[in-house]
Amino acid sequence: MTDQADRTFTSEQGLVIRLRSVPQRLLLFATERVEAEMRAEGSPIDPPVFEVSALGGAKERLPLTEALLEKGTEDPEEQRRWQAAWAQHQAALEELETRQEDASQRVMYGLGTMFELPEGREWLDDIAYVRGEAIETEDPRELRALYLMLAPGVLSEADRGALYMELAAMMAGIDQENVATFRAGTKRQMARAARQAFDEFAAESGQLGGDDGPPGSHSDEGMATGPGAVGRPQPE
């Protein structure tokens, strides 16, 4: 990691955080590790595979897709198995996304920030109480990530989003003078994505898209800039 001694972030509460650039490959390793762990746990993150009838009556094993599920099968019991397996697969993908986002934040905040943690363990005990499990780590990287992610009153949602965006900009090699442009461009991408999602929902539910849409879908106003906004990292 390259130290960026002149790059700092100051929270609304006055916490001054020195920033360091996190190599993109480390973020990729973290998300890939989560995927490997879930596979080892037997989580159905891969589409379920079922035997279907092909032309001429032959049987063929195919991964289940949304289109195949909608087409259905003549056997009601088989259709119920398809639906149950698809629901489990979708739930596993949601869990995968959540766990990868958490891993990404831990890497970004743990490796990309430097600041003085408060003395004592009171803040850590509060987190342990909420999580319902003891926290034994003494690793300063883990402690910094926990403090920024979970300690109450440390970072506001706006702070957390802005800090993550700053670290993402550094990871992308964007200098401090161009960070504002980077943020604006990312917000515009998110606004377009929000508008597209709303139009798709409106079309499916029979509502008119028109000029209506979710708050912030036509401008940068109100758009989130937090963890996950930049997207999954790609190999360098």
Q: At 188, phi and psi to the nearest 5?
A: -65, -40
How far apart CA 109 and CA 123 sit, in angstroms, is 17
Average of per-residue pLDDT across 116-145 = 91
Of the two residues 14 and 188, the one the predictor is more confident about is: 14
Please determine, for residue 217, whether its predicted confidence score (pLDDT) is greater than 90.
Answer: no
Residue 53, sorted as left (phi over 0), alpha (psi -120 to 50) or beta, turns out to be: beta
> Which sequence spans correspond to the domains of the chain?
2-205
> Please, are residues 131 and 151 in contact by the beta-carbon 8 Å criterion?
no
Of the two residues 114 and 225, the one the predictor is more confident about is: 114
Q: Which residues pair with 2 in a beta bridge?
A: 21
How far are the Cα atoms of 20, 27, 108 from residue 1, in angstroms, in the given order?
7, 12, 11
Nearest to 176 by CA among 13, 12, 9: 9
Residue 56, sorted as left (phi over 0), alpha (psi -120 to 50) or beta, turns out to be: left
Q: Indicate yes or no: pTM above 0.75.
A: no
Average of per-residue pLDDT across 86-115 = 95
Please determine, for residue 227, whether its predicted confidence score (pLDDT) is greater than 70.
Answer: no
pLDDT in tens, 28-38: 999 999 999 99
Of the two residues 2 and 16, the one the predictor is more confident about is: 16
Angle at 223 between CA 222 and CA 228, to 5 degrees: 145
| pLDDT confidence of residue 23 | 93
